[in-house]
Amino acid sequence: MSMRRHGFWIGALCVLALAYGLTLAIRNEYAFFAGFIILQFIVLATAWNILGGYAGYVNFGTSAFFGIGVYTAIFLFKALGAPLLVQMAGAAVMGALLGFVTGLLTLRLHGIFFSIATVAMTIILETLVINWKYVGGATGIQVLRPPVTEPFDSYIKMLFVIGVALVIVAVALSRHVQGSWIGRGLRAIRDDETAAECTGVPTLRLKLLACSISGALMCAAGAPSAMYLQFADTTSAFNLNYSVSALAMSLIGGTSHWAGPVLGAIVLGVTQQALTVTISSELNVLVLGVMLILFVVGAPEGLLGLLRKGWARLARGGGS
Amino acid sequence: MSAPLLRVAGLSKRFGGFTALDDVSVDVAQGERFGLIGPNGSGKTTLINCVSGALRNDGGTILFAGEEISRLPAFVRTRRGIARSFQIPRPFKSMTVLENLLVAIDFGRAGHGLSADATEDEAIGILGTMGLKDKARILSSQLSQVELRKMELARAMAAKPKLLISDEAMAGLSGSEIDEVLDLLIRLNEAGITIIMIEHIMHAVMRFSQRVMCLDAGRIIAQGVPQAVMDDRRVQEAYLGA
CA atoms within 13 A of residue B214's CA, in its CB half-sphere: 26
Q: How many residues does chain B have?
A: 242
Chain A neighbors of B156, CB-CB under 8 A: 199
Residues B82, B51: contact at Cβ < 8 Å?
yes
Chain B neighbors of A256, CB-CB under 8 A: 94
Cβ contact B108–A199 (<8 Å): yes
Determine the pLDDT at residue A320.
43
Q: What is the mean pLDDT of residues A106-133?
A: 90
Range of the domain at A277: 2-319
Determine the pLDDT at residue A151.
83
Judge whether B111 lies within some domain: no
Determine the pLDDT at residue B111.
65
Determine the pLDDT at residue A5.
67
How far apart are the C-alpha atoms of A117 and A64, rounded to whole Å?
12
Closest CA to B45 of B8, B37, B59: B37
Residues 152-191 of A with CB under 8 A from B: 181, 184-185, 187-188, 190-191
Chain A neighbors of B86, CB-CB under 8 A: 195, 198
Closest CA to A53 of A306, A302, A309, A241: A302
Judge whether B131 lies within some domain: no
Other residues' Cβ atoms within 10 Å of the Cβ of residue A185: 28
Chain B neighbors of A201, CB-CB under 8 A: 75, 103, 107
Closest A-chain CA to B141 = A191
CATH number of the domain residue A219 falls in: 1.10.3470
Judge whether B156 lies within some domain: no
Chain A neighbors of B53, CB-CB under 8 A: 197-198
Three-state SS sequence of chain B? CCCCCEEEEEEEEEECCEEEEEEEEEEECCCCEEEEECCCCCCHHHHHHHHHCCCCCCEEEEEECCEECCCCCHHHHHHHCEEECCCCCCCCCCCEHHHHHHHHHHHCCCCCCCCHHHHHHHHHHHHHHCCCHHHCCCEHHHCCHHHHHHHHHHHHHHCCCCEEEEECCCCCCCHHHHHHHHHHHHHHHHCCCEEEEECCCHHHHHHHCCEEEEEECCEEEEEECHHHHHHCHHHHHHHHCC
Please say if the pLDDT value at position A319 is more than 60. Answer: no
Judge whether B123 lies within some domain: no
B239 has a chain A CB within 8 A of its CB: no
Pick from A199, A202, A256: CB nearest B103: A199
Determine the pLDDT at residue A318.
58
Q: Binning pLDDT at 50, 70 and 90, where does residue B117 land? A: low
Pick from A190, A191, A194: CB nearest B54: A194
Judge whether B122 lies within some domain: no
Pick from A197, A200, A204: CB nearest B104: A200
SS3 content of chain A, % helix, strand, coil (to 5): 80, 0, 20
Chain A neighbors of B92, CB-CB under 8 A: 187-188, 191-192, 195-196
Range of the domain at B191: 6-93+161-240
Q: What is the mean pLDDT of residues B23-42?
A: 92
How far apart are the C-alpha atoms of A69 and A62, rounded to whole Å?
11
Please say if the pLDDT value at position A128 is more than 60. Answer: yes
CATH number of the domain residue B38 falls in: 3.40.50.300
How far apart are the C-alpha atoms of B149 and B41, rounded to whole Å?
22
The domain tally of chain A equals 1
The domain tally of chain B equals 1
Determine the pLDDT at residue A228.
92
In the predicted model, what is the mean pLDDT of chain A? 90
> What is the SS3 assignment for A142?
strand
Q: What is the pLDDT of residues B156-214, one digit of tens each?
A: 989 889 999 999 888 888 888 898 889 989 999 998 999 999 988 888 898 999 999 99
B103 has a chain A CB within 8 A of its CB: yes
Termini Cα distance of chain A: 31
**Residue that wins the pLDDT comparison between A291 and B210:** B210
A201 has a chain B CB within 8 A of its CB: yes
Judge whether B112 lies within some domain: no
Determine the pLDDT at residue B174.
86
How far apart are the C-alpha atoms of A40 and B42, rounded to whole Å?
57
Q: What is the pLDDT of residues A10-50, one digit of tens each?
A: 999 999 999 998 988 888 888 899 999 999 999 999 999 99
Pick from B83, B86, B102: CB nearest A184: B102
Q: How far is CA B219 from CA A187, A310, B55, B175, B229, in A?
A: 39, 60, 18, 31, 15
Pick from B54, B93, B108: CB nearest A191: B93
Cβ contact A192–B52 (<8 Å): no
What values do phi and psi take at A155, rounded to 5? -65, -40
Q: What is the pLDDT of residues B64-86, one digit of tens each?
A: 999 999 999 999 999 999 999 98
Q: Binning pLDDT at 50, 70 and 90, where does residue B32 land? A: very high
Helix axes B145-158, B175-190, angle to 10 degrees: 10
Cβ contact B109–A200 (<8 Å): yes
Please say if the pLDDT value at position B116 is more than 70. Answer: no
Determine the pLDDT at residue B114.
54
CB pairs under 8 A between A and B: 76
Judge whether B173 lies within some domain: yes
AA identity, residue B236: Q
Share of chain B above pLDDT 90, in %: 57
How far apart are the C-alpha atoms of A114 and A242, rounded to whole Å?
18
How far apart are the C-alpha atoms of A34 and A31, rounded to whole Å?
5
Distance from CA of A195 to the nearest CA of B (A): 6
Residues 39-58 of B with CB under 8 A from A: 52-54
